[in-house]
Structure 1
Amino acid sequence: MKLLTHNMLTSKCIKGVSVGYPLAIKASDVRICEVDFNPDFVSRIIPKVDWPVLYNAAESIGQVEDLPKELSENYENDHNFLKKAHRVLLEVDVIDGELVCPESGRKFPISNGIPNMLLNEDEI
């Protein structure tokens, strides 16, 4: 599971959960998978990303490296920043672990890079 995907996941569909975001990550296997760098894509996706959540997710799995905690002004013209953002968004891959709802504590397994967000009938 890419951290870009994690940034968009929520568990607000669970009965009694109002926000369900951000999900905590407890990773048991994290890998770096190289992806071709596309600065245009990265600069266009950043406004859609919740940056503090992305930073905290990267930090929680030990992948923050020298990623800035806050977005810099004019980031779309900062090639060095775009490379760092690209790495954390698209190259860091959580292979196995779990996502945890911040409100209910419900755990969702991640297996072979795929988060299983299916709910039980009694949770709907």
Structure 2
Amino acid sequence: MKLFTHNMLTSRCLKGVLSGYPLELIATNVQIREIEFKPEFIIKMISKLDWNVFVDTANKLGYGTELPKSNPPENFNKDDEFLKKVHHALFEVDVEEGELICPETKRKFPITKGIPNMLINES
């Protein structure tokens, strides 16, 4: 599971959950997989991120220490070094095994072979 995916997931579909965001990410197996760097794509993706959640999660995994904590810098779209750091954390860091935890209910959702299981069985 990529950190970009994590940034979009919520457990709001659980009964009684108002937000379910952000899910806490506990990773037990992380792989780094090189992916072609496309700066235009990264620029578009930055506007879709909850930046603080992204950086906090990347830092907890040890892959966000070079990212600014509050917001992307001004004119980030012209800074290839910055975009490469974001690209690495968003798309090359791959959580293979672990779990996601709902912040409201503490329900755990397993991540197996890079796929989060968000299926709900209320019974």
TM-score (norm 1): 0.95
Separation in structure 2 between the aligned mates of residue 35 and residue 65 of structure 1, nearest angstrom: 20
Separation in structure 2 between the aligned mates of residue 96 and residue 76 of structure 1, nearest angstrom: 33
Partner residue in 2 for 1:111: 112
Question: What does residue range 89-108 of structure 1 map to in structure 2 within 5 Å?
Answer: 89-108=90-109
RMSD: 0.9
Tell whether 2:19 aligns with 1:11: no
Partner residue in 2 for 1:79: 80
Separation in structure 1 between the aligned mates of residue 65 and residue 51 of structure 2, nearest angstrom: 15
Runs of 4+ in 1 over 4 A off after TM superposition: none
What SS is found at the alignment partner of 2:8?
coil
Once the two structures are overlaid, the 10-residue window that deviates more, 62-71 or 93-102, is 62-71
**In the alignment, residue 17 of structure 2 is paired with which amino acid?**
V
CA shift digits 1:17-72 (9 cap, x unpaired): 00000000010001110000000000011101111000011112122131221311
Separation in structure 1 between the aligned mates of residue 21 and residue 52 of structure 2, nearest angstrom: 12
**In the alignment, residue 25 of structure 1 is paired with which amino acid?**
L
Separation in structure 1 between the aligned mates of residue 34 and residue 26 of structure 2, nearest angstrom: 22
Partner residue in 2 for 1:27: 27
Separation in structure 2 between the aligned mates of residue 93 and residue 64 of structure 1, nearest angstrom: 14
Structure 1 portions without partners, runs of 5+: none
Structure 2 portions without partners, runs of 5+: none
